[in-house]
Amino acid sequence: MIQFEHRPGILDLSWGHPRPDLLRVRAGAAGGADLDGRALTSGAPAGPEPLLASLGDPGRTFVTGGASHGLALLTQVLAEPGDVVLVDSPTYHLAFPILADRGLELVHTVPGLDPIPLTAQIQHFRKVGKRVRLLYLVPTFGNPTGASLPGRRRRELIEVARREGLTIVEDDTYRELAYDGPAPPALWEMAGGDPVIRLGSFAKTVAPGLRLGWINAEPEIVRRLTGLGYVHSGGGVNHTTAVTMAAFRSGGGYASHVERVRRAYRTQRNALVDALRKHLGDLAVPPPAGGWFVWLPLPAGVTATALLPRAEELGVSFVPGTRFWADGFGGAGRIRLSFSHLSANDLEAAAERLAAAITSTAQSRPGRR
């Protein structure tokens, strides 16, 4: 019935899903659209104009079935099998199979996206005859780290992309979940468009089951997307839901709903971070300024792989850090904890169980008595 699978006795911090009761949207506020023939027929290829206008320049916006669908579409129109796509490390792990589906070669970027070695990396691949077409990253409240790319590095990255003919695919799905002040400006906004393409989604702010998102891109890219056979044949993507969302946004219901869920997730973030700090003592617990995740460093000598079975024995789970490197060779000493899915009380209990598992695993390391 649904993707999430509850395991009895496990407080699961691995799922980056909304808390179920936050998915309830009041019927009157859920759109208020009169679903007449215009809403229920085939739509315009790029999406209904009222929604496009609310998301930016209609000529540079395309409605998708979510951010994952948007990424898959971009690989179809911008890349060919065998092309190199640079991926930030660590980054959203479920982007890897989407990129691999197109037959792309996934390569980690240089640490920190430092512009000089990044330029050298791009030029190296071109010298050996490979086309470096895309760079994928989540620069704002990233998954898994919760961190945001500094403003100076954003500007440097845009300049490298312009100079080297590289397209940056900015996954911006957590932007509206900012807890400690405004989110930093999007790369798309800073660049004024090209060489950045931005992916957005209503999955985190409203509901993933809507399967509704968008792409901001230059008009030529939008024209290529609308020219895809199935888009033209089907009359756009998810037209009726898009019309309903346009009404939801224009009527003010969307803004009040986002503020409500933002307050709830801020409370959940604080509950998890405070409980981790209480039970883990000196272990650093970085509080994310937005998004859904805590990127927790483990004590020296404790790996996520060794910790996971002990944690599940004690009734808590997480995602090992290695999942967020395309080759699986980084992040052994980190774990991703999601605070989005559980209540504040459950998050506090999960932190206590996790701390006990970390202590137990550390004490059982070879050489310890």
CATH number at residue 137: 3.40.640.10
pLDDT at residue number 21: 85
Mean pLDDT of all residues belonging to the chain: 93
Contacts 24+ apart (CB under 8 A), 302-306: 302/333, 302/358, 302/361, 302/362, 302/365, 303/332, 303/333, 304/331, 304/332, 304/333, 304/334, 304/335, 305/332, 306/361
Q: Are 201 and 213 in contact (CB under 8 A)?
A: yes
The residue out of 235, 252, 269 marking a domain boundary is 252
Q: What is the CA radius of gyration of the chain?
A: 21
Does 173 map to a domain?
Answer: yes
Instruction: Quick: pLDDT tens for 18-64.
Output: 988 888 765 444 455 566 778 888 899 999 999 999 998 999 999 99
Whether residues 110 and 231 fall in one domain:
yes
Whether residues 231 and 263 fall in one domain:
no
Instruction: Quick: pLDDT tens for 236-249.
Output: 999 999 999 999 99
Nearest to 240 by CA among 33, 50, 40: 40
Percent with pLDDT over 90 in the chain:
85
Does 122 map to a domain?
Answer: yes
Flag whether pLDDT at 3 surpasses 70: no
HSE, CB side, 13 Å, CA atoms: give it for residue 18: 23
HSE, CB side, 13 Å, CA atoms: give it for residue 147: 15
pLDDT at residue number 1: 54
The residue out of 192, 224, 252 marking a domain boundary is 252
Whether residues 164 and 246 fall in one domain:
yes
Give the residue carrying structure tokens 């993933």: 208
Range of the domain at 301: 11-21+255-363
Instruction: Quick: pLDDT tens for 169-208.
Output: 999 999 999 999 999 999 999 999 999 999 999 999 999 9
Whether residues 259 and 247 fall in one domain:
no
What mean pLDDT comes out for the span 207-211? 94
Instruction: Quick: pLDDT tens for 305-356.
Output: 999 999 999 999 999 999 999 999 999 999 999 999 999 999 999 999 999 9
As given in the structure block, the two tokens for residue 187 are 């790369």
Q: pTM higher than 0.85 for the full model?
A: yes
Instruction: Quick: pLDDT tens for 115-126.
Output: 999 999 999 999
pLDDT at residue number 284: 85
- With helix as H, strand as E and coil as C, how does 56-89 read? CCHHHEEEECCHHHHHHHHHHHHCCCCCEEEECC
Q: What is the largest CA-CA distance in the chain?
A: 73
Whether residues 74 and 184 fall in one domain:
yes
Flag whether pLDDT at 258 surpasses 60: yes
pLDDT at residue number 369: 46
pLDDT at residue number 144: 97
pLDDT at residue number 260: 95
How far apart CA 118 and CA 160 sit, in angstroms, is: 8
Whether residues 160 and 68 fall in one domain:
yes
Instruction: Quick: pLDDT tens for 275-285.
Output: 999 999 877 89
Q: Which residues pair with 61 in a beta bridge?
A: 216
H helix or E strand, kind and range, residue 349 = helix 344-363
Task: For Cα atoms 112, 114, 115, give the angle at the middle one, nearest 5 degrees.
Answer: 150
Whether residues 137 and 244 fall in one domain:
yes
Whether residues 229 and 278 fall in one domain:
no
For residue 291, count other CB atoms closer than 10 A to its CB.
Answer: 30
Q: Are 214 and 62 in contact (CB under 8 A)?
A: yes
